[in-house]
Homo-oligomer: A and B are copies of this chain.
Amino acid sequence: MNDASVPAQPGFRLARGVVRMLAGLGHAPLCEFVPAPGQRVDVISVAPSGEIWIVECKSCRADFVADRKWQGYLDWCDRFFWATDCDFPAQLLPEGDGLMVADAYGAEIIRPAPCARLAAARRARILRDIARTAACRLIRLSDPEAFTGPLPD
């Protein structure tokens, strides 16, 4: 299959499939989100109920082994999942987390994630930041000059 809309990078391909699956569940997923300086999650997603999921996409063993930041992401979500392709050695991953298998076109939840419910203040902060990030990205697409106009300071 030769689909120009599919990202070349393996991690982005997995993320695209994860986003499609989450959208199908009624979630609102956002890619490449920065919850705190130095952190960047592959997919963060807001369920209709307001529950927040984070999905980290790992395309190969080296990608997982090199990741020293994922445990910090647990502080920003109610449920945490890994997403891998079907060839990934799943036994490497912590058994207590959720697991999805994905490709560029979709994903499936193989193991549900336990819920570690965020405190209200933390949830309000992360929802604020997701709202601001997504709204600003939309403006950059619809009116690229909005952030370079006469009031840039």
Contact = CB atoms under 8 A, between A and B. Distances in A.
A132 B28 contact: yes
Given A106-B149, A127-B127, 4 more contacts: A19-B139, A19-B146, A21-B151, A134-B137
A71 B146 CA distance: 29
Interface of A: 5, 16, 19-21, 23-25, 28-30, 46, 48, 50, 105-106, 120, 123-125, 127-128, 130-139, 141, 143, 145-147, 149-153
Contacts of A5: 143
Count chain B CB atoms within 10 A of each CB in A105, A141, A146, A150 and give the residue with the most. Answer: A146
B146 A20 contact: yes
A130 B28 CA distance: 10
Nearest to A150: B106
Contacts of A153: 24
Nearest to A44: B135
A106 B138 CA distance: 18
A134 B145 CA distance: 19
A19 B105 contact: no
Contacts of A147: 23-24
Nearest to A121: B120
Nearest to A145: B20
A87 B133 CA distance: 35
